[in-house]
Amino acid sequence: MTSIREFQELMRAIYYERDSRRGIERTFMWLVQEVGELSRAILRNDRENIEEEVADVLAWLASLCNLLGIDMENAVIKKYPGRCPKCGSIPCRCDLK
Ligand SMILES: [Mg+2]
Ligand SMILES: [Zn+2]
């Protein structure tokens, strides 16, 4: 497993049947919950848990994309084709937000 597409396919193989029964809205709510867990791990500066929660967020995002029929790798390359999509620079020169 080395690419975004392969990770999404792995999540499909493991979880698609369960994800389908849960549905898009409840799967999205799980993704939001995992983002909350990542937030708490960052606030505690718990390095090991931050890593785990990053993995959870990506896994739930992949599950959601599988249900929505979104190819994550295509979506990422389309929006971020090798440079900042707003200013077109590497590194980005947009005003800091
Ligand atoms: Mg978690
Ligand atoms: Zn930029």
**pLDDT tens sequence across 20-67:** 999 999 999 999 999 999 999 999 999 999 999 999 999 999 999 999
Distance 51 CA to ligand 1 centre (A): 10
Both structure tokens of 22: 């849960």
3, 24, 25, 1: which is closest to 14 by C-alpha? Answer: 1
Both structure tokens of 45: 């500066």
- Domain 4-79, architecture per CATH: Orthogonal Bundle (1.10)
Distance 79 CA to ligand 2 centre (A): 13
CB-based contacts of 63: which residues, under 8 Å, 6+ apart? 11, 15, 16, 19, 27, 30, 31
pTM for the whole structure: 0.93
Distance 62 CA to ligand 1 centre (A): 14
Proximal ligand: closest to the CA of 94: 2
pLDDT higher than 80, residue 94: yes
With beta carbons less than 8 A apart as the criterion, state whether 75 and 49 touch: no
Proximal ligand: closest to the CA of 38: 1
Both structure tokens of 27: 């799967």
64, 76, 74, 73: which is closest to 16 by C-alpha? Answer: 64
